[in-house]
Amino acid sequence: MLALDPVLAFQCLADAQVVDDALADRIVLTFRDRLGRETDADRQAVIAAFGVVAADRRPRGRAVFDLLVRIASEGGDRRRAAAAVAALAATNLPRAAESLVGFLPTEPEAEPALVGMGDLAVPALRTAALRGQGEALRVLWRMRTPRAAVALCAFSLDPSSTDVAFYLGDLLRERTIEKALREVPQGAFAPGYLWVWKPFAVGADDPLVRRVSVIAAAIAERRMDPPLGVEMDPRILAALSLTQWDARQSSRLAPSRLNELITPALGERPTRSVPPSGELAATAEAGLREAGGLPLAPSWMLHLLPAELRLRAIRVLTRQNSISTATWERVNEPIQHPDYAFGRSWHFRLGLALILAVSVAAAERAADAAVGWHPWGPVWLGWVAVLLIVGGWGLLLATEPIGLVMLPPVCVYATVAWRDWWGTVPAVALGIAVVGACAALALRGEVLTVRADVSVDPLRRFVQDHLNP
């Protein structure tokens, strides 16, 4: 077999119960010399074979394992050292991960090897990070697994490691990791940043609200560039950049000009997917900075957003005077009757019916006074009241708000008519009830109109169309 398939013969050392020691030593020495000198498929085959043999718990396996550690630590021949590191990772042994962690400062291939080992290497990396080995934190980030992310959380409060905040902020983009972090209790928090994650919280006690507050505080207050390759969760960046904008402080901003620049790339429909150029985003961002309404810190965080999201965020800024943290917190709250229109609502119809009924009574009483059947005040006053009531309704039907000038004579003559019918006290009580009912209907319509307007405001549309999962 050694002559027909040397690699298979080498792998069989891990399974064979009885092998001549001299033959076994000769095979190991042969592959020791080949390690790192093969190319392409042969290289991978030799590395895999070393992994199989070194994973054997018997003395021969431990000897091959120690051989790989020695080759990796010598560092003379970079190719051989890299191959030894890959072979250690191929063993899938916890002690291999412990050895590879020690090579992180000196051997570039140790990092991808540990990443390839996945969750198996997490305990060794956590131990190394506790010893102050910063490279271990980066490996945990690169693994991009829920278990690695949970391990990183233990270091998020370390004031000397802003990188962890960036790593966790990046990993939150992965839905499986977001779910895993939501299940891990979080005690500490940054009081001034609890609002950041509230629009995306699941339930009232979502641990991510506290965890993200710590992440956001570390990023916002230290203003450091993210580590190479890190892409922050846009939900955090948008919260930190948009809420510090105040167009009222900007004297030179021309929103229409920026909108003319942005709209052709994005289109008016917020769900349209267009990959605009980074140059256009940079131009629009420069326009905001020149306007003076965007301080340095949010400008820096806005710049970290991908080009399309940055443009959409800038368009939100040009369409809203300011965005408070309280506004951000409520941006995902459900809106009752988002399609509400007062003119088509039952509030409007009922109020109109009440006013019409009162107007009929008032017009009849004013006409009686005008023709002298039931005198009340000067005759001309009755005619003026009739003209105002009839003319006011004509203007209202023509959608002219000035028609509301009829309301004073309507109220006066309707009350007089009710007094004639039922007496003073019932007339006054009925008048107050009708006015109160109309005011309540109008107020409720105004509240629902404001809520409907909020449901389509630029910030809500941006968050719900482009940031929500």
pLDDT digits (tens, 9 = 90+) for 329-366: 988 877 666 677 777 888 888 988 998 899 999 899 88
The predicted-structure confidence for 81-119, as pLDDT tens digits, reads as follows 888 899 899 999 999 999 999 999 989 999 999 999 999
How far is 324 from 198, CA to CA, in rounded Å? 13
Cα radius of gyration rounded to whole Å, the chain: 38
Does residue 76 sit within a domain? no
What local confidence, expressed as pLDDT, does residue 171 receive? 96
Domain finish residue from 290, 309, 333: 333
What φ, ψ does residue 246 adopt, rounded to 5°?
Answer: -145, 100
Does residue 322 sit within a domain? yes
Band of residue 31 on the pLDDT scale cut at 50, 70, 90: low
The predicted-structure confidence for 272-291, as pLDDT tens digits, reads as follows 444 455 666 666 666 655 65
Residue 322 sits in the same domain as residue 411: no
Does residue 17 have a pLDDT over 80? Answer: no
What local confidence, expressed as pLDDT, does residue 104 receive? 93
Band of residue 18 on the pLDDT scale cut at 50, 70, 90: very low
Residue 408 sits in the same domain as residue 327: no
- Which range, of 214-218, 245-249, 433-437, averages the lowest pLDDT? 245-249
Residue 327 sits in the same domain as residue 353: no
Domain finish residue from 265, 300, 333: 333
Domain count within the chain = 2
What φ, ψ does residue 322 adopt, rounded to 5°?
Answer: -160, 160
How far is 386 from 380, CA to CA, in rounded Å? 10
Residue 329 sits in the same domain as residue 359: no
What local confidence, expressed as pLDDT, does residue 43 receive? 76
Does residue 368 sit within a domain? yes
Does residue 64 sit within a domain? no
The DSSP letter of residue 293 is -
Residue 238 sits in the same domain as residue 324: yes
Q: Where are the beta strands (DSSP E) in 265-376?
A: none
Does residue 428 sit within a domain? yes
Does residue 207 sit within a domain? no
Residue 469: alpha-carbon gap to chain centroid: 8
Residue 322 sits in the same domain as residue 389: no
Residue 353 sits in the same domain as residue 399: yes
Output the DSSP codes for 3-48: TT-HHHHHHHTTT-SS--HHHHHHHHHHHHHHTTT--HHHHHHHHH
User: Cβ of 278: how many Cβ atoms within 10 Å?
Assistant: 13
Residue 448 sits in the same domain as residue 347: yes
Band of residue 253 on the pLDDT scale cut at 50, 70, 90: very low
Does residue 399 have a pLDDT over 50? Answer: yes
Domain finish residue from 333, 350, 369: 333
Does residue 58 sit within a domain? no
Residue 278 sits in the same domain as residue 354: no
Cα angle for residues 76, 105, 180 (degrees, 5° grid):
135
Tell me the average pLDDT of the chain. Answer: 80
Residue 270 sits in the same domain as residue 324: yes
Domain hosting residue 294, numbered range = 234-333
Q: Which two tokens stand for residue 206?
A: 């979502």
Does residue 109 sit within a domain? no
Residue 294 sits in the same domain as residue 242: yes
Residue 292 sits in the same domain as residue 387: no
Asked if residues 104 and 77 have their Cβ atoms less than 8 Å apart, the reply is no
The predicted-structure confidence for 229-241, as pLDDT tens digits, reads as follows 999 999 999 999 8
